[in-house]
Structure 1
Amino acid sequence: MTSSDTTAEPGETPTATRFREGPHLPALVVTLIVTVIAGLFAGTYAWAMGDPQPHDVPIGLVSTTHSPGELATELEARTGTTFVVRPYATETDAEAAIREQVVYGALVEQLNGSVRLYVSSASGASVARLLEGDAPRLEQSIGQPVTVVDAHPLAEKDPNGLVLFYVALAAVVIGFVGAIQTRVNAARLTLAGELFWDVVRSVLGGFAISFTVGPLLGVLPIPFFAVWGVLALTMLIAGATYSFWRVLIGGRWAMLPTWIVFVLISNPSSGGAVAPELLPPFYQFMGRWLPTGATVRAVRDLTYFPDDLHLEPYIVLAVWLVASVGLFVAVRLFRYGPGAPGDILHTWRSIARRRGRATDEVAAEAPAG
């Protein structure tokens, strides 16, 4: 572009004009956005998982000598951690509550006077370590030796319980990165073609993740086909979410809201790296309703609690699937039609203009007061 091609604003120097209309302005904008996102990325994960603070940790109690309120008060005074203590009539009832993930552990007084502290590393390794660390204080509170029993230990090759988080993270990130690369390198796909390759990519990606952590490396004792289905669903949701933003606001900025939803909010709030009761309240709430958290819970149930599956994570994933794919298809049809993307059929400005003209016509046809 030559200086004769540029249009200067009033009072603007030629240098400023060249900067505004040249490639340096968008480069500056991207640099500033990346700078902010880098700080948010580091801050989000540091805030959510850097120093987890337990609060309202649910545990069970089977005792004839201590009430739930008394034990909760004593534990909070000795540990600084708040517990929600739920009474159970028998040891079997408490074990069932742990298996159903209603509580993270249970303090059980045996008939012979001994005391067991049941924990469940598979439900949340961070909470299990917390309860084990509090065992000496529990002994002081109840005046009896405490034997710690891990009712649901983690897989041998996953002692810290992080593989569930990595599996869900891989499905989410590869889901929207795959959608980006497909749209960039196969830009002339029709709507049917886009949906077809989104499904194929998700199915194959879910297979690759499940096969790698399951049969290939034996890291997790997963039920292969069920976990494959969950991860394929997660990948499809992440890809469809990006695709929706791409047709709504354009490919230049579509990555930004996708990154915010999944990487800055959904992933750290998932409960995969740190149990929800150790997260800040915002993340504890959000993790329950976002795709990564639902994926972590679904895969955890399938792997460690196959006889006590919860419906909620599947409902969350189903709602996200219908919403993300439905919105993508609706906006894609509205703007481009079912064929390959070409000239935009409709824009939001054209709708506003049509509404404005319609309003003017109605006003013009209205009889004078």
Structure 2
Amino acid sequence: MAEPSTPAGFRPSRGFRREFRDAVTPRASILMLGVLILELAFVVSYIGAFHSPKPSRIPLAVVAPAQPQARAAVVGKLNGLPGRPLSARPADSLSQARGMVLDRSVQAALVVGPARGPDRLLVASAGGPAGVQSLQSVFHKVNGPGRALTVVDLRPPNPADGRGLSSFYLVVGVIVGGYLASAALAMSYGARPANPHRTAIRLGALAVLSVLSGLGGAIVADSVFGALTGHFWSLWWIAALITFATAAAGMAFQVLLGSAGIAVSVLIFVVLGNPSAGGVYPASLLPPFWRDLGPALPNGAGVTLVRNYSYFGGHDTATAWWVLSAWAVGGVLVGFAASLLGKRRAARADGTT
């Protein structure tokens, strides 16, 4: 009877201790430690951002009785609430207050009614239902049981947009595509491009992918599910810019840090970027660190662009455009600068200055 053949690549055990040293190398231990740190950072960031949402200086327009003293008294009372949940400012008329809500100068407007009549709270829940609920809670405490409050929703989400989170999920999706694309190129051809030509080729590939990413995201959000309708071209190019900004920045991190740049991309775009983006909770409900960080990252800027173009005519988006453009241009410039520096170092090492 023939002896069974030994499978290719099989190696008999050399003892647990030696096998352990081979299986868990120092490099593998460092990588596992890095994964643990990212994991804990993820838990800290998401729980820290979402565990106890509290309103903080929510911009509010106030339409009060015509007498300046009465109007100032109402604004002063609202601004003096414990914990400063509101940042109230006067509005001259109902039409002006409506315009301020819809152009995102404020998140809501309070229309003070007659002495025994109800007050009206003008909101736009497409900008974030959680913010509307928080405002209602604040005013129910302020008014008490003796004064009614009527909520008027000037701009609710599309019926297929549920709780107004489609903007956030579209941005999360294309950002994941951006940093994974840069990571895939790094794993295929090395994290650090060999020369400026290779950098240009890699950036060109990422640009093509970004255009396709934006197109796919717009088709899914608009044509397939009907969640964000009527702004197909805007969604396409906004999503393309978000993808490219993330991909170019991810490539820059990899050029500077090697494989560790992938972890930095995850830290910035997932661990810090998603909870601070203003998707689940608007910035006015987040703790200070996340509230201040969000608008400076592609996640927060992207949510602002997608949401405000989908529902508010593109108002209040200038800062978001600048932020995304800065990430995109910065990633390109850092990538080229690092590859040029690497080329010069290689030339000096070869003695061909």
Q: Which of the residues 126, 129, 135 maps onto 1:125?
A: 129
Pairs within 5 Å for 1:162-241: 162-185=165-188, 190-241=198-249
* Aligned partner letter, 1:63: A
Q: Superposition RMSD on alpha carbons, in Å?
A: 2.7
- Which structure has more relative contact order (CA 8 Å, sep 6+)? It is 2
| TM-score using structure 2 length | 0.83
Give the corresponding residue for 1:324. Answer: 331
Q: Residue 264 in 1 paired to residue 271 in 2?
A: yes
CA contact (8 A) 1:302 1:309 kept: no
CA contact (8 A) 2:167 2:279 kept: yes
Deviations 1:176-209 (A, max 9, x none): 1011113333569833321221111111011111
Q: Secondary structure of 1:103's match?
A: coil
d(CA) in 2 for partners of 1:197 and 1:61? 51
Residues 346/156 of structure 1: CA separation in 2 closer, same or farther (3 Å cut): farther
* Aligned partner letter, 2:235: V
How far the C-alpha of 1:334 sits from its partner, in A, is: 2.5
Deviations 1:329-356 (A, max 9, x none): 221232248xxxxxx7279xx7xxxxxx
Pairs within 5 Å for 1:26-41: 26-41=27-42
Give the corresponding residue for 2:297. Answer: 290
- Runs of 4+ aligned residues of structure 1 deviating over 4 Å after TM superposition are 110-114, 186-189
Q: Residue 153 in 1 paired to residue 159 in 2?
A: no
Pairs within 5 Å for 1:1-369: 19=21, 24-64=25-65, 65=70, 67-72=73-78, 76=81, 82-110=85-113, 113-140=117-144, 144-185=147-188, 190-250=198-258, 252-306=259-313, 308-336=315-343, 345=346
CA contact (8 A) 2:241 2:324 kept: yes
Residue ranges of structure 1 left out of the alignment (5+ in a row): 1-14, 338-343, 351-369
Q: Secondary structure of 2:217's match?
A: helix
Q: Please identify, of 296-305 and 112-121, the stretch whose mean Cα deviation from structure 2 is larger.
A: 112-121
d(CA) in 2 for partners of 1:210 and 1:28? 42
CA contact (8 A) 2:215 2:236 kept: yes
Residues 234/346 of structure 1: CA separation in 2 closer, same or farther (3 Å cut): farther
d(CA) in 2 for partners of 1:284 and 1:259? 19
CA contact (8 A) 2:245 2:325 kept: no
Residues 73/334 of structure 1: CA separation in 2 closer, same or farther (3 Å cut): closer
d(CA) in 2 for partners of 1:145 and 1:68? 16
d(CA) in 2 for partners of 1:307 and 1:35? 41
Residues 22/137 of structure 1: CA separation in 2 closer, same or farther (3 Å cut): closer
Percent pairwise identity: 26
Give the corresponding residue for 1:355. Answer: none
Q: Secondary structure of 2:341's match?
A: helix
* Aligned partner letter, 1:55: S
Q: Secondary structure of 1:255's match?
A: helix
* Aligned partner letter, 1:191: T
* Aligned partner letter, 1:288: P
d(CA) in 1 for partners of 2:255 and 2:218? 31
CA contact (8 A) 2:109 2:121 kept: yes
Q: Secondary structure of 2:136's match?
A: helix
d(CA) in 2 for partners of 1:73 and 1:91? 20
Q: Secondary structure of 1:241's match?
A: helix
d(CA) in 1 for partners of 2:25 and 2:212? 40
Deviations 1:35-83 (A, max 9, x none): 1111110110111022212111221211124523443167x36xx6621
How far the C-alpha of 1:320 sits from its partner, in A, is: 1.4
Residues 346/43 of structure 1: CA separation in 2 closer, same or farther (3 Å cut): farther
